[in-house]
Structure 1
Amino acid sequence: MRVVTWNINGIRAFKNGIKKVLDSFDADIICVQETKVTRELLDERTAIVDGYNSYFGFSRGRSGYSGVATFCKDTATPCAAEEGLTGLLANHGEAVGRCGDQSAFSNEELQSLDGEGRAVITQHKFRGAEGSETLTVINVYCPRADPEKPERKLFKLRFYKLLQSRAEALLGPQSHVIVLGDINTSHRPIDHCDPNDVDNFEDNPSRRWLDGFLFGSMVNENADEMDDSEISGGKFVDTFRHFHSTRPNAFTCWSARTGARQTNYGTRIDYIFASRALVSTSFLNVEIMPEVDGSDHCPVWAQLSCTLTPSPRCPALCTRYMPEFAGRQQKLSRFLVKVSEQREVSKDTEGPLPGSQEAGEISENLSPLVAGINTAKKRPSDGLPESSVFKGKRSKHVKTVPKPQGSLLAFFKPKQSSVDPEESGLDSERSGPEISHKGTQNDVNDCNAMHSMQPEWHTKVKEETNNCRVTEPKAEGSCQDQSQSNATVYQESRDKKVMGPDFWKAVLHGPPQPPLCKAHGEPCVLRTVKKAGHNLGRQFFVCARPQGHASNPQARCNFFAWVEKGK
């Protein structure tokens, strides 16, 4: 059996499709955190993946925030599944085992701890040495302690306490537990890129909680020779350190903003914890996968010797049972029905299915080519009636009436309006073919004379007119082309005078010229202060190289310079 955990930093960021990502791990259970999707935004392609059954936890208060999901292969279908840690989100008979002692929490606090979509529990069966045994997998995305929000520090510690209470309550003689995910705390200095910059590293409340939660949590070369009374900790094991107790620079999270992944300047905050009995009997190896891109975290996998027994039916929490997706899947026999029969059936089922998605949501979940939906924006019709806009191939039964061609004399008619194009400015360009110079009586007489000439000459003039382009006229005040050309030249000269390069340079100030950092002599990058305070919004320059340890010559130097106001 293979288990994978990964903070994906947004499940909709998978450009090549989620199935391709899941298949690449070749794992039985894949747990992802920080999906950043609510139930309203979850689409069918993400919720129902061929070959897998999935279980989601959603944030109730904020959209695009938090969220976890567990994907199980059909060969590892769980026998039970539950959202959250408190049991309050589970329907009757759907809770996974015992919930533990919750007397230290108020009902409002329990609802708050489960309201951010930070946990999903699945329970599986496998054949062990003593017969059928139970394995419970708790997929968690623990809160971050925001330094600017003291209440979040307390929220994080209360979440830890609730997690420990639920995990320990599920343990038993033939009942094992795996807790995995983004714990959001680096346990020991070996798990941090620069622990010297952290004050009171060992005294951090989150690290002290880990000391009490983990068995043998102290990194010691002689840990195997120590008895249980000399080893700190509780009922779970940090499986990575169990196999790699002294490996340095084994990090799972890096700052994407500073490019710290290039210099491996990160922390290890993604874990796979397991009960002591399961580690000693079934765990074969645990590794991190820093080579996998796509997030500011990397995956962690564990290999076990046991083989899961799939349940014949998915638990009720499975996404395929959600009302918005139920009834949408079709059987293989559906595609073997004759075309004529399919058309007859479709006439009777033109309306939306009961309990299905709305038409707008369905069109978003289907491929535009399959659904026959044109996703491109409609081009403007330029004021033409709807019937005159091109709409693709017409039906054979539709007869189109050609638009009558205008007479040549329409271009030689004297102007009806008394407004001169030189005075009208921009309006002369909007007026179209009806605008012309002021015609004289001689011009009208000349036009009438031209029209009364022989038919051969008239036909020749008509052909030449149809093939002509708007160019500079040969005679002054002869036709509309000269009026339109003059208006265009006037408008272009006016635009160049008013909105030329000098105009935009005077209005818009480009970014300031970056200075060179002193250590490398390379152009710096421009940053903006986003932290609340008196410097919020100010810009500054720093070295363009990725963040790293001070001893790393490839990392960025300590160059810093504020951008002066007005530049």
Structure 2
Amino acid sequence: MKIVTWNINGIRTFKNGIKKILDSFDADIICVQETKVTRDLLDEKTAIVDGYNSYFSFSRGRSGYSGVATYCKDTATPFLAEEGLTGLLANQGEAVGCYGVQVELSSEELLALDNEGRAVITQHHFIGKDGPQKLTVINVYCPRADPDKPERKQYKLQFYQLLQCRAEAILSSGSHVIVLGDVNTSHRPIDHCDPDDVDNFDDNPGRKWLDHFLFGTAEKTENGNTEDELTDISQKSTSGGKFVDSFRHFHPKRSNAFTCWSTITGARQTNYGTRIDYILADHCLVKSAFFGVDIMPEVEGSDHCPVWAQLSCNLRSSPKCPPLCTRHMPEFTGRQQKLSRFFVKVSEKERLSKVSEESLPGSQDSGEIRENLNPVVQGNSVAKKRPTCREKDANASKAKKSNQMKTEGNAKGSLLAFFKPKQTPSIPSTGNLSPKQTKSSEDSPGSESDVRSCPSDVQTETNLSLVTEMETENQDEVEGELTSIVKSKDCKKGPCTGFWKAVLHGPPQPPLCKSHNEPCVLRTVKKAGPNLGRQFFVCARPQGHASNPQARCNFFAWVDKGK
């Protein structure tokens, strides 16, 4: 069995679907965090993936925020699945259960901890050395503590407390437990790119919680404790210390093994990051079933990299998916009407029958519809009545007149009428008709006799020549006016351009950093405070350790407001 965890930083970044990514891991269970998708934005190709069954938890307060999802191969379908850690989001009879004692948190606090979509729990069965056993996988995206928001620090510690309470309760029920995902805290100095730069590293509340949650196999072994002593410590622990950091179990001294880097500073190029993504499992499971754990920094597409673990057990697949599975969502099973349903193409026969029902009885439209739907059949062919020449001429003239009337009506009442060219004024002439008058006479009733009264085409050509001369003269006048306007604009262009250049002088010229003698990059302060919005220059190279000559130097310069 293989299990993978990865903070993907937005599931909608996989525009062609997530199946290709899932297949590349060749894993039985893939847990992803920070999906940044709400239920109304979840599309079918992401929710229903061929060969997998998926389980989502969505943020209920903010769109495009948080969210986790667990994808299981069809050969590893879980028997139970539950959203959240508190049990408040689970339906009766469908939950994993085992919630522990949560007396220290109020009902409002418990609901708030589950409303951000940070946990999905799946329970599986496998055959181990001691026969059939249960395995519960808790996929979590732990909150980040914003230094400027004290309430978020409290929220993070409450989430840690709830996570530990639930994991230990499930473990006490007889099931093995794996807690994996983005924990948002680097445990030891070896898990941080520059621990000396962090104030009070060991006093961080998140690290203290990890010390309590993990009994630290690797660290205690290096201090001289034997494997039996570690087992005793695990058994004596009554409030934590029951889980193992599986990566450090296999790689106790590997440094620079990071899983998260800042994309703003390009820190991944210099491997200047932290290890905050974990696969934590109970001590007995790690000892009996785990035989390989590692990180995958070569996999890009996010500011995190995946972590995988290989186990010697084989999962048994449930015959049916739990109710939480996305396959049971109404919007993906056809039980909920989608907006696209209202744009389905209706057949011509259905449309005509609907029109016939709505039309008035005995009307001309209904008669024509009945003729079209029930033509006279002669043998195996449909009899068609050919119109006579006189009927053709009458129909053509009717169609022409109706089109002309529609065109005039639309021109008068539409916006296009304001953009039509100005009509040429009619030329006064005795007994002659201008082209404008001739056209209008065609559109009016009884116009045939008026058109025929024109003596010959010579007069028409004469009138057309006069109109052409008038249009030419008007065009020359208009072109002269336009030329004068353009010249006046050109005259004003010079002073205006100089004025705006003096006011909007553009970004300042970047200076050269002293260490590399390279142009710096312009940054803006976005943190709330007295310098919010101020601009400054720093070295353009990616962020890295001070001892790395290829990393960013410590050049810094504020931008002078006057420049």
Which category describes the TM-score, using the shorter chain as reference length? 0.7 to 0.9
Instruction: Tell me the CA shift for residue 251 of structure 1.
Output: 0.2
CA gap of 1:482–1:191, structure 2 versus 1, over 3 A, is: same
How many Å separate the matches in 2 of 1:402 and 1:145?
75
Is 1:478 matched up with 2:485?
A: no
301, 313, 316: which is aligned to 1:306? Answer: 313
CA gap of 1:239–1:218, structure 2 versus 1, over 3 A, is: closer
Structure 1 partner of 2:244: 237
Is 1:564 matched up with 2:560?
A: yes
CA gap of 1:548–1:452, structure 2 versus 1, over 3 A, is: farther
Is 1:179 matched up with 2:169?
A: no
How many Å separate the matches in 2 of 1:490 and 1:283?
86
| Secondary structure of the structure 2 residue equivalent to 1:24 | helix
The structure with more helix, counted as a fraction of residues: 2
| Secondary structure of the structure 1 residue equivalent to 2:308 | strand
| Secondary structure of the structure 2 residue equivalent to 1:522 | coil
Aligned positions, number: 468
324, 328, 331: which is aligned to 1:324? Answer: 331
Q: How does 1:232-271 map to 2 (within 5 A)?
A: 234-271=241-278
Structure 1 partner of 2:414: none
Instruction: Tell me the CA shift for residue 261 of structure 1.
Output: 0.6
Instruction: Tell me the CA shift for residue 91 of structure 1.
Output: 0.6
- 2:98–2:173 contact (8 Å) kept in structure 1: no
Is 1:505 matched up with 2:512?
A: no
- 2:87–2:97 contact (8 Å) kept in structure 1: no
Q: 1:548 is aligned with what amino acid?
A: G
CA gap of 1:64–1:83, structure 2 versus 1, over 3 A, is: same
Q: 2:294 is aligned with what amino acid?
A: E
CA gap of 1:95–1:230, structure 2 versus 1, over 3 A, is: closer
Structure 2 partner of 1:44: 44
How many Å separate the matches in 1 of 2:152 and 2:22?
33
Instruction: Tell me the CA shift for residue 69 of structure 1.
Output: 0.7
Is 1:549 matched up with 2:545?
A: yes
Is 1:195 matched up with 2:195?
A: yes
Query: How far does the alpha carbon of each residue in 1:167-225 deviate from its partner, in whole angstroms, 9 at most, with x for none?
Result: 01111585211000000000000000000011221121111111111132552536663
- 1:53–1:77 contact (8 Å) kept in structure 2: yes
| Secondary structure of the structure 1 residue equivalent to 2:472 | coil
How many Å separate the matches in 1 of 2:268 and 2:135?
34
Instruction: Tell me the CA shift for residue 151 of structure 1.
Output: 1.4
| Secondary structure of the structure 2 residue equivalent to 1:40 | helix
- 1:139–1:181 contact (8 Å) kept in structure 2: yes
Q: How does 1:432-511 map to 2 (within 5 A)?
A: 433-434=421-422, 478-479=472-473, 481-483=475-477, 485-486=479-480, 488-490=482-484, 492-493=486-487, 496-498=490-492, 501-502=497-498, 504-506=500-502, 508-511=504-507
- 1:436–1:480 contact (8 Å) kept in structure 2: no
Structure 2 partner of 1:213: 213
Structure 2 partner of 1:74: 74
TM superposition score normalised by structure 2: 0.75
| Secondary structure of the structure 1 residue equivalent to 2:164 | helix
Structure 1 partner of 2:336: 355
| Secondary structure of the structure 2 residue equivalent to 1:434 | coil
CA gap of 1:565–1:172, structure 2 versus 1, over 3 A, is: same
| Secondary structure of the structure 2 residue equivalent to 1:112 | helix
Instruction: Tell me the CA shift for residue 265 of structure 1.
Output: 0.3
Structure 2: any 5+ residue segments left out of the alignment? 345-395, 403-417, 436-453
CA gap of 1:454–1:518, structure 2 versus 1, over 3 A, is: same
How many Å separate the matches in 2 of 1:144 and 1:494?
61
Q: Which has the larger radius of gyration?
A: 2
How many Å separate the matches in 2 of 1:431 and 1:109?
63
| Secondary structure of the structure 2 residue equivalent to 1:170 | helix
Query: How far does the alpha carbon of each residue in 1:484-505 deviate from its partner, in whole angstroms, 9 at most, with x for none?
Result: 5445545544554556754653
How many Å separate the matches in 2 of 1:308 and 1:454?
96
TM superposition score normalised by structure 1: 0.75
Q: 2:205 is aligned with what amino acid?
A: P
Q: Which of structure 1's runs of 4+ aligned residues deviate more than 6 A?
A: 230-233, 360-363, 399-404, 451-455
In angstroms, what is the RMSD of aligned CA positions? 3.6
How many Å separate the matches in 1 of 2:399 and 2:264?
62
Q: 1:359 is aligned with what amino acid?
A: S
How many Å separate the matches in 2 of 1:262 and 1:139?
29
Is 1:285 matched up with 2:307?
A: no
- 1:119–1:141 contact (8 Å) kept in structure 2: yes
- 1:436–1:479 contact (8 Å) kept in structure 2: no
CA gap of 1:510–1:273, structure 2 versus 1, over 3 A, is: same
Of all paired residues, the percent bearing the same amino acid is 67
Structure 1: any 5+ residue segments left out of the alignment? 328-353, 364-398, 405-429, 466-472
- 1:82–1:317 contact (8 Å) kept in structure 2: yes
Instruction: Tell me the CA shift for residue 65 of structure 1.
Output: 1.2
Q: 1:136 is aligned with what amino acid?
A: T
- 2:544–2:551 contact (8 Å) kept in structure 1: yes
How many Å separate the matches in 2 of 1:301 and 1:92?
33
Query: How far does the alpha carbon of each residue in 1:293-349 deviate from its partner, in whole angstroms, 9 at most, with x for none?
Result: 11111111111111111111111111111122222xxxxxxxxxxxxxxxxxxxxxx
Q: 1:76 is aligned with what amino acid?
A: A
Is 1:150 matched up with 2:146?
A: no
CA gap of 1:433–1:76, structure 2 versus 1, over 3 A, is: same
Q: 1:234 is aligned with what amino acid?
A: G
- 2:217–2:249 contact (8 Å) kept in structure 1: no
